Amino acid sequence: MTTTLDSRVDETLARHLPPLEAWLSKFLPNLVTKGLVEFLVFGIKQAWACLFGGLLLLGMIATSLAYPENAPIARYDFLVIYAVAIQALFLITKLERPSEAIVILIFHVVGTVMEIFKTDAGSWMYPEDNLLRIGGVPLFSGFMYAAVGSYFARVARVFEFRWKHYPPLWATIVLALGIYVNFFSHHFVWDIRYGFFALTAVIFLRCQVYYRVWRWRHQMPLLLGFLLVSFFIWIAENIATFTQIWLYPNQEAGWHMVSWQKLGSWYLLMIVSWVLVTLVHRPQAVDDT
């Protein structure tokens, strides 16, 4: 079997968790000890799954604090090179598979096209100048969408996702296409996002995701999982706008928290990302393990 960083993380956990569990059991009831260890592993694996996004966000924060004014390339251009290097490293270390990288690239393109349209419409802006850009959109912006796709691709493997009552793939594809078109069309006709919220609830209402953390397999309604992921993306967006990577019109005079309404936008866009990932990681029923 080829050794990858993913497998080494599992080996490290298998080596260090039993001694930790034995030590905790001296002070806590056995069930509480096992629960704490399970929760610790959940946090570690979640952080590992969102490594691409975490590294990208770290780059944004670091360059906002200490990027030289006389640097030979603009900050945005440096972030392009930085993001490409991360992506290359993920492929070399097999943290991402080539098939996953292709789907993530598609979402990168999908996100960039929307960025070009939205910045032209004045929905948000990138305040700094740079060379590697299309219109008002720096090329690194697509990597922010790619980070969401990378998370979904990796979390599905790391937690061994299995499903119950997963909807037909064609239905999710139609839903994703409709959501994506509405991000453009609502500038010209009616915004029907609330209809898509309702349709999403109908399509995924019965769907349960089963995932393995450490010793137990857990389950969660997929709609709840979507909501939780959207919330953490919204937090990341607040951090990114604080570093002035991009700004909404009402943030130009001074930063303040991103509107809660954007949580709904991320919820819908995240579904587009997830559906793209399922083209590679076809949902397997829980009984297929």
Identify the pLDDT of residue 289: 47
Q: pTM for the complete prediction? A: 0.89
Identify the pLDDT of residue 268: 94
CB 270 within 8 Å of CB 229: yes
Identify the pLDDT of residue 4: 67
Q: What does the alpha-carbon distance between residue 66 and residue 284 come to, in Å, rounded to a whole number?
A: 46
Identify the pLDDT of residue 13: 83
Identify the pLDDT of residue 288: 53
Identify the pLDDT of residue 94: 84
In this structure, which long-range contacts are made by residues 135-141, counting pairs with CB atoms below 8 Å and at least 24 apart in sequence?
137/112, 138/76, 138/77, 138/79, 138/80, 139/80, 139/112, 140/76, 140/77, 140/79, 140/80, 140/82, 140/83, 141/111, 141/112, 141/115, 141/246
**Residue 76 CA: distances (Å) to CA of 54, 143, 190, 244:** 17, 12, 35, 11
DSSP category for residue 211: E
Would you give per-residue pLDDT tens digits along the chain (289 residues)? Answer: 345 677 777 788 888 888 888 888 888 888 888 889 889 999 999 999 999 999 999 999 999 998 998 899 999 999 999 999 999 998 888 888 888 888 888 888 988 999 999 999 989 999 999 999 998 899 989 999 989 988 998 899 889 999 999 999 999 999 999 999 999 999 999 999 999 999 999 999 999 999 999 888 899 999 999 999 999 999 999 999 999 999 998 888 888 899 888 899 999 999 999 999 998 888 999 875 4
Q: Which of 202, 207, 240 is nearest to 58 (CA)?
A: 240
